[in-house]
Amino acid sequence: MADQTQELSTHRRWVPAWHFFTVPVLVGNVVVVVVRFVRDPTVTNGWQFLVALALLIGIVLSRNMPLRAQDRIIRLEERIRLQRVLPADLRGRADELTTDQLIGLRFAPDDEVPELARRALSGDLKTRTDIKRAIKNWRADHMRM
């Protein structure tokens, strides 16, 4: 996968087993169990609804927690990179960038980072999507979760 070109329109990672099977099946299961409980409100059907909901929430959380850890790692990596690539006048302000902005900057090549960081710090680029749209030469990240 490392040879594939990546850009704003193609950088999202879709995991078919997750996005197109696991989540729809779990959501469908909750719907089926809710319908069964509404039609026949027994303790057993109520319990099955709670278990289906807990299963859905647990599985979604098990996906979101590593993504949150990944965001923290990206924040650290980008702060280290900024100390190397930012000019002195911006280096002291690197901690003012939000995690969301740092996540957007990870796709920018070193030569574009100073200008993008300057624009983010001035309020011109507020979100990761704003930063991603402003990148001219995409720096691929194929190791995302």
Q: Where are the domains of the chain?
A: 16-134
Identify residue 7 by its one-letter amino acid code: E
How far apart, in Å, are the Cα atoms of 61 and each of 8, 23, 29, 53, 131? 26, 12, 17, 12, 27
What pLDDT does residue 141 have? 72
pTM, two decimals, is 0.71
- Would you give per-residue pLDDT tens digits along the chain (145 residues)? 444 566 665 566 677 888 899 999 999 999 999 999 999 999 999 999 999 999 999 999 998 898 899 999 999 999 999 999 999 999 999 999 999 999 999 999 999 999 999 999 999 999 999 999 999 998 877 666 5
What pLDDT does residue 19 have? 84
Tokens 């729809």 locate to 24
Enter the tokens of residue 15. Answer: 């995991």
**Cα–Cα distance between 7 and 122 in angstroms, integer?**
25
Are 138 and 9 contacting, i.e. CB atoms less than 8 angstroms apart?
Answer: no
**Cα–Cα distance between 9 and 68 in angstroms, integer?**
22
Question: How many C-alpha atoms does 79 have within 13 Å on its Cβ side?
Answer: 15
